[in-house]
Amino acid sequence: MSADPISVHILDRDYLVACAPEERTGLMEAARLLDSRMRDLRNASRSAPADRLAVMAALNLAHELLQVKETQRLGEQSLNQDLNQLRFKLDAALNGLTRIG
């Protein structure tokens, strides 16, 4: 698919971004999220320049992403442990049936 430029509005400025049609919705959501975060930061610190707001918003979003990934990793680790315990119990139960039969 070809990448068509679309316009996103972030902190009172428009940016043209090349985007594949199937990624358009995700890009628009990301732009809205970034705009919202930058506006929150600007409201908290009126004197900060836009580039500093962008870096701070990016750092906050990156930190949140890393937290989500760590939570997901821990969840997968717990799930794998639970599955291993179930396999062990199932194997034990099947071995018991095999010996009886």
Is CATH 3.40.50.150 the right assignment for the domain spanning 4-73? no
DSSP string, 43-69: HH-TTS-HHHHHHHHHHHHHHHHHHHH
- Along the 101 residues of the chain, how does pLDDT read in single tens digits? 578 999 999 999 999 999 999 999 999 999 999 999 999 999 998 889 999 999 999 999 999 999 999 999 999 999 999 999 999 999 888 888 777 65
Q: What is the pLDDT of residue 16?
A: 96
Q: Which of 61, 64, 42 is nearest to 53 (CA)?
A: 42
User: Distance between CA 50 and CA 12 in Å, rounded?
Assistant: 10
Are the C-beta atoms of 36 and 13 separated by less than 8 Å?
no
pTM equals 0.75
The amino acid that residue 8 corresponds to is V
In the prediction, which pLDDT does 1 show?
Answer: 59
Query: What is the model's pLDDT at position 14?
Result: 97
